[in-house]
Amino acid sequence: MVNTTESKRLELHKLLKLHSTIQNVYFSPIDSVSINYPAIVYSEADRTDLYANNYVYLFNVSYTVVVIDRDPVFVTQTVDAFKVNFPYSTIKTTYIKNNLYHKVIVITI
């Protein structure tokens, strides 16, 4: 597969399902999408390009990943597993919205 932003996104999607028990994984869902919980919602956050000879030689893409569930312990355990399996990740914040626990981690691949 060609190394593109989309190929990296698909790789992350597969790895998110692999490294958690959550199968409801959504990429930048629109408001009309009905989300089933527990869920992982992720979106592209940043892209870093490394240039060589006036061309992009290598790039990394960062994704904001939010783990959502009613059980705060489950959310924390899931994010902790991501932190172990994705060495270039940073846990950002935790919050409660609509009686659901949200934990945010930024993963770079």
pLDDT, tens digit, for every residue of 73-83? 999 999 999 99
Burial class (CB in 10 A: 0-12, 13-18, 19+), 72: middle
pLDDT at residue 3 tops 80: no
Amino acid at 41: V
pLDDT at residue 69 tops 70: yes
Amino acid at 102: H
Give the pair of three-digit tokens for residue 109: 């691949």
Between CA 65 and CA 20 the distance in angstroms is: 13
Tell me the C-alpha to C-alpha distance, in Å, between residue 17 and each of 41, 59, 98: 12, 23, 24
Give the pair of three-digit tokens for residue 43: 């979106």
Predicted local confidence at residue 57, as pLDDT? 81
Q: What is the pTM assigned to this prediction? A: 0.91
Mean pLDDT score, 35-60: 91
pLDDT at residue 1 tops 70: no
